[in-house]
Structure 1
């Protein structure tokens, strides 16, 4: 077992990129709001390095409100084709404006326009209302770059816990963990 959870994640992520038919970067992001209720949703990992795992979205969304109330977040990657999953826990901070601008600029234009048109997680009276809002922003930014809205940014999760799960026949799975300490990472195994 590697002593470095980021190295192990990189190896498993590369394998998933080669085997998963769709979105090997898809992950469940679990949060807990001020009301104590958990919520989970699938998002796409947009970048990662030894400082953490980054993802983006609307600052008015339920996930953003939850992370503002409680910055302890869990990520879960599940790669069915490999019978593997990785759980990552830690705390999130909002990325810098420069990082959010750079990522937003890399998105497809329709995704940029959709970010402006969507009041994410708020009630929508009808699909037509959203489509009308999208037409309005298309007109507003016609022939020019689409700037990042103030209400759209990203978060980086700094991990303090990893669990790697390898599925094995008859539910004899292999589970190994990394827990962050003041001096590095402590490793261990869990029963299946």
Structure 2
């Protein structure tokens, strides 16, 4: 069977399961949006970038090099969760690009009726800082990176719904690893 034929079968397989939520997480500059978008395109998932749900006030706050407070994150998270709930009701599986800084916030996504899995992007701080500096027209600056590292409550290696992905290599290698992990999760779901 051709690669396209195999891909079509895998996509149908994903569509027949309980809707899945794959959360590509990490500090800013790790490639969450690009990797989640690529996964979404290749596996026929709905792509959501959590940054798109920030209020103009929150974006301005970050553009002024001020980190968000938990009080500022609460309505943002509520909006994302409401949107995800709607997609679940439609039977859609989702690739979400989301920082996932706080453990308690990640638990909110675990409470949704999706089969949920986190793909935690980790890498060298200098590499991440260079990536942020190269971005154009983004509200997040390199000066906020330290606040993200400080706020990050990294998942524990023992968390069964988290895969740790090293991003200190080419985008294509990272994207391929993510797609392989997701395909394995889908295949395991088919065998249950």
User: Which TM-score band (shorter chain)?
Assistant: under 0.3
User: What is the TM-score normalised by the length of structure 2?
Assistant: 0.23
Q: Which has the higher contact order (CA 8 A, sep 6+)?
A: 2
Greater gyration radius: 1
Q: Name the structure where helix makes up a greater proportion of residues.
A: 2
TM-score, normalised by the number of residues in structure 1 = 0.23
- Of Structure 1 and Structure 2, the greater strand share is in 1
